[in-house]
Amino acid sequence: RMVGRALKQIPDDLSAPCHRVVNVSGRLVPGWTEQKQLLLEEGISFKQNGCVDLKKHLWNYSVPE
């Protein structure tokens, strides 16, 4: 929720890939119809329930040693 609130404060003229932010279940932002299209254009796939397939697209990161 904090991330969502912070992203809402970003000025319109600042280009930020905020469409990539989904909740822990892969749900999209309610009322933002363009979000799914933007993700589809990047090759993101969705489950039948409309959520991002996080098993396939979850960001993998490693902590540098």
pLDDT tens per residue across span 18-65:
888 898 899 998 898 899 999 999 999 999 999 999 999 987 766 676
Structure confidence at residue 63 (pLDDT): 66
Task: Determine the pLDDT at residue 62.
Answer: 67
Q: For tokens 């796939």, what's the residue?
A: 45
Q: Give pTM, 2 decimals.
A: 0.74
Please report, for the chain, the start and end positions of each structural domain, with discontinuous segments joined by +.
2-57
Range 12-51 burial, b when 16+ CB lie within 10 A, else e: eeeeeebbeebeeebebbeeeeebbeebeeeebebeeeee
At 43 the pLDDT is 96
- Residues linked to residue 52 through DSSP beta bridges, in sequence order: 46
Q: Locate 17 and state its tokens.
A: 């890939």
Of residues 54, 24, 52, 55, the one with CA closest to residue 39: 52
User: Per-residue pLDDT tens for 3-14?
Assistant: 778 877 888 788
